[in-house]
């Protein structure tokens, strides 16, 4: 990888090379959602850990920021009833498409809701509420406070709120990384992440690695995502009335992406 010049990221330089062909969008909108969905994985340490945690208690699951179904679909496959809530209509369209392809028994157990995870009212309670990595970072402090209030209002007696937090685990690693990844449909992508150690946000950029050699548009998905470290998150959870009952690291030491699964319950 060539070194990044001062003030210019590798992702920005790659986008500039495309010139007018670049169609810059967010990861979760109409252009970006299909690419994001193509890279979604249903068999990773985070998904497996959440499924294992949910198995300990029966009952329906509320999947917050469900997107195109990264957790929703595996949960349905285990026989659970799932309510999938997301604010992005484009992501939910992809989820509904996946459900249309699924067995009728799975479709019957899924309720899809377009809603804001920082303020939702579903009129029922759940023994399990889930929120996956990075989703919490999409909210500002006020939004997170609203999320915690909404979660508490929907937790069944003895219910658990399971959420994961992403931190940098390699303090001496490069500010920016660039890798080639292959989606479920066989498309190869370039995935850039600019995340200086100690920064309060990281920028993710995704685009096809081998666009056609013509003048056709090339989708370039990019989003800046806030970083919320574990100590601050734990303080917020405690202040909101949620007690942490377990902390489970999901990443080996020294990896750039350090993910921790938190299990919380309503403070009594």
DSSP state letter for 173: S
Looking only at the bridges linking them, the beta strands covering 201-208 and 188-194 are antiparallel
For tokens 């666009």, the residue is: 211
pLDDT on residue 112? 98
pLDDT on residue 133? 80
Nearest to 222 by CA among 91, 21, 66, 32: 32
pLDDT tens per residue across span 153-201: 999 999 999 999 999 999 889 999 999 999 988 999 999 999 999 899 9
pLDDT on residue 7? 53
Strand order in the sheet with 218-226: 22-25, 218-226, 201-208, 188-194, 176-182
Q: Taking phi first (over 0 means left), then psi (-120 to 50 degrees means alpha), and beta for anything else, what does residue 158 get?
A: left
pLDDT on residue 56? 86
Tokens of 155: 């937790």
Q: What is the pTM of this model?
A: 0.91
Cα separation, 204 vs 227, in Å, equals 12
pLDDT on residue 5? 42
pLDDT on residue 2? 38
Ranges of the chain with pLDDT below 70: 1-7, 42
């Amino acid at each position: 990888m060539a070194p990044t010049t001062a003030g210019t990221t590798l992702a920005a330089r790659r986008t500039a090379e495309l010139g007018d062909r670049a169609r810059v969008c967010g990861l979760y909108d109409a252009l970006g959602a299909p690419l994001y969905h193509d890279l979604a994985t249903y068999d990773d340490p985070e998904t497996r850990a959440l499924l294992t945690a949910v198995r300990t208690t029966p009952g329906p699951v509320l999947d917050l920021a469900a997107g195109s179904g990264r957790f929703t679909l595996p949960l349905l496959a285990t026989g659970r009833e799932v309510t999938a809530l997301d604010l992005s209509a484009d992501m939910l369209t992809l989820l509904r498409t996946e459900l249309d392809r699924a067995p009728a028994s799975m479709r019957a157990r899924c309720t899809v809701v377009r809603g804001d995870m920082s303020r939702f009212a579903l009129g029922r309670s759940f023994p399990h509420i889930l929120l996956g990595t990075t989703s919490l970072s999409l909210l500002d402090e006020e939004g997170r406070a609203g999320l915690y209030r909404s979660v508490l209002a929907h937790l069944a007696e003895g219910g658990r709120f399971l959420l994961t937090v992403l931190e940098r685990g390699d303090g001496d690693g490069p500010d920016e990384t660039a890798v080639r990844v292959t989606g479920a449909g066989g498309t190869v992508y370039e995935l850039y992440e600019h995340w200086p150690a100690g920064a309060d946000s990281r920028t993710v950029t995704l685009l096809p690695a081998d666009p056609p050699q013509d003048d056709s548009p090339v989708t370039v998905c990019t989003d800046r995502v806030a970083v919320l470290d574990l100590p601050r998150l734990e303080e917020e959870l405690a202040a909101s009335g949620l007690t942490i009952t377990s902390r489970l690291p999901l990443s080996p030491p020294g990896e750039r992406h350090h993910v921790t699964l938190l299990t919380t319950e309503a403070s009594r």
